[in-house]
């Protein structure tokens, strides 16, 4: 394993992952919908938030520890649910969950993971969170929730912004699938990235194991693809939050909120937390960045529930900016995926180390010693244009 300490930024881990991971799976992480304008805005808008520097203050004894949905976290960061994680590196979800457990931050497993709920539970000792897509096959969803309960998952993350799939050109051009199709192009990729290929040959986990074996209509690759594409529910409504909560019996965090009215609706229907998110720019291209809309959503419901943010976090500075603008915590997706692709479990740990160090130093230079004391007073200015129209009353 290469010396991962030489990587000092998430961008450097990204470059290493690009070198090691086959193009279709690297592109899956490094892409957005349609023109990718929202994908780019997620990171670019963090640069428009300026911090207030303070000096001649006591910077000793700093504390980054907090709680997220009632659970201890070493810093206000959790690993976001990401599909195809196990194709960035063999058994990727297990590796990421182990890294998160050792580091002391929450890990969230995607419905569309390569390693199953049971795979992760058997290879970790700390309860993790499970992300749920509501699908048309309610019998499958009932069984999926019951499996999450049996695995002692401590929270569900209900994703609401994938009623239909966004227009993702890179995935379409690359012919994304799990397991991958052995086209001449992909065989060439394996030849030039032999470490990835050898590790994949050493695992039996190559497909969506939360689904395969649990749905009769998804027995092979062609059937799995057809079943999955037909299952996202365009008729999804807020009442599903209550149904999921009753079935699960634990906290339900609603992900995919990008509008203050939707935030109020989620809370009114029982959400135990919300995640301000545009699905990493992979759904509605042209939507605003998550950090841009965070303040108005915090204003709308921050006094009623925990508000988190994902989409665009690439540094500890980004984490601090989100917390200063009202987020209780943040979720990282691509940042840990690039660590995973660069160096497996150790690479995920390195990504977390990079973010922690940047967060700690930035907090100190802003004159704060405790993450709970970070707030709007640490923001010098926000260079976002004013909103063009108020939220509608639905």
Do the beta carbons of residue 276 and residue 331 sit within 8 Å? no
CA distances from 376 to 300, 312, 359 (A): 16, 20, 16
Within 8 A by CB and 6+ apart from 256, the residues are 159, 160, 161, 162, 275, 277, 278, 279, 283
Distances 171 to 38, 94, 230, 277, 358 between C-alpha atoms, Å: 17, 24, 18, 20, 32
Number of H helices, E strands in the chain: 16, 12
**How many other C-beta atoms are found inside a 10 Å radius of the C-beta of residue 383?**
9
Catalytically active residues, by annotation: 279
Burial class from Cβ neighbours inside 10 Å (0-12, 13-18, 19+) for residue 386 reads exposed
β-pairing, 379-382 vs 155-159, is unpaired
Measure Cα distances from 229 to 159, 222, 361, 367 in Å.
Answer: 16, 11, 45, 50
Strands 108-109 and 71-73, bridge-based pairing: unpaired
CA dist., res. 300 & res. 288, Å (int): 17
**Total residues belonging to the chain:** 394
Sign of CA dihedral 113, 84, 189, 347: negative
CB contact set of 183 (below 8 Å; sequence gap of 6+): 175
CA distances from 115 to 85, 212, 383 (A): 8, 11, 41
Q: Is 243 left (phi over 0), alpha (psi -120 to 50) or beta?
A: alpha
């Amino acid at each position: 394993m290469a010396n991962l300490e030489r990587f000092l930024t998430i961008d450097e881990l990204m470059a290493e992952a690009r070198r090691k991971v086959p193009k279709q799976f690297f592109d899956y992480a490094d892409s957005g919908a349609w023109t990718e304008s929202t994908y780019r805005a997620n990171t670019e808008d963090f640069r428009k938030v300026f911090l207030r520097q303070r000096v001649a203050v006591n910077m000793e004894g700093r504390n980054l520890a907090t709680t997220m949905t009632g659970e201890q976290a070493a810093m206000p960061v959790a690993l976001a649910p990401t599909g195809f994680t196990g194709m960035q590196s063999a058994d990727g979800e297990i590796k990421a969950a182990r890294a998160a457990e050792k580091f002391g931050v929450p890990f969230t497993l995607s419905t569309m993971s390569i390693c199953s709920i049971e795979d992760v539970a058997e290879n970790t000792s700390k309860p993790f969170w499970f992300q749920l897509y509501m699908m048309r096959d309610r019998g499958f969803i009932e069984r999926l929730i019951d499996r999450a309960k049996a695995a002692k998952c401590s929270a569900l993350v209900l994703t609401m912004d994938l009623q239909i799939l966004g227009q993702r050109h890179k995935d379409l051009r690359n012919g994304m699938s799990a397991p991958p199709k052995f086209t001449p192009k992909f065989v060439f990729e394996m030849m030039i990235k032999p470490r990835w290929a050898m590790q994949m040959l050493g695992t039996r986990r190559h497909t969506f194991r939360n689904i395969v074996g649990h749905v009769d209509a998804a027995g092979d690759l062609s059937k799995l693809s057809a079943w999955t594409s037909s299952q996202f529910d365009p008729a999804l409504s807020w009442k599903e939050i209550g149904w999921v909560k009753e079935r699960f019996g634990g906290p339900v965090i609603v992900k995919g909120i990008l509008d203050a009215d939707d935030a109020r609706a989620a809370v009114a229907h029982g959400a135990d937390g919300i995640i301000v998110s545009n699905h990493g720019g992979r759904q509605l291209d042209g939507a605003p960045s998550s950090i841009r809309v965070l303040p108005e959503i915090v204003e709308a419901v921050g006094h009623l529930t925990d508000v988190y943010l994902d989409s665009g976090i690439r540094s500890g500075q980004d984490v601090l900016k989100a917390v200063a603008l009202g987020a209780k915590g943040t979720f990282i997706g691509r940042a840990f995926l690039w660590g995973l692709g660069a160096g497996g479990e150790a690479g995920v740990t390195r990504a977390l180390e990079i973010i922690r160090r940047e967060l700690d130093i930035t907090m100190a230079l802003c004159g704060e010693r405790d993450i709970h004391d970070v707030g709007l007073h640490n923001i010098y200015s926000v260079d976002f244009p004013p909103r063009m129209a108020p939220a509608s009353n639905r």
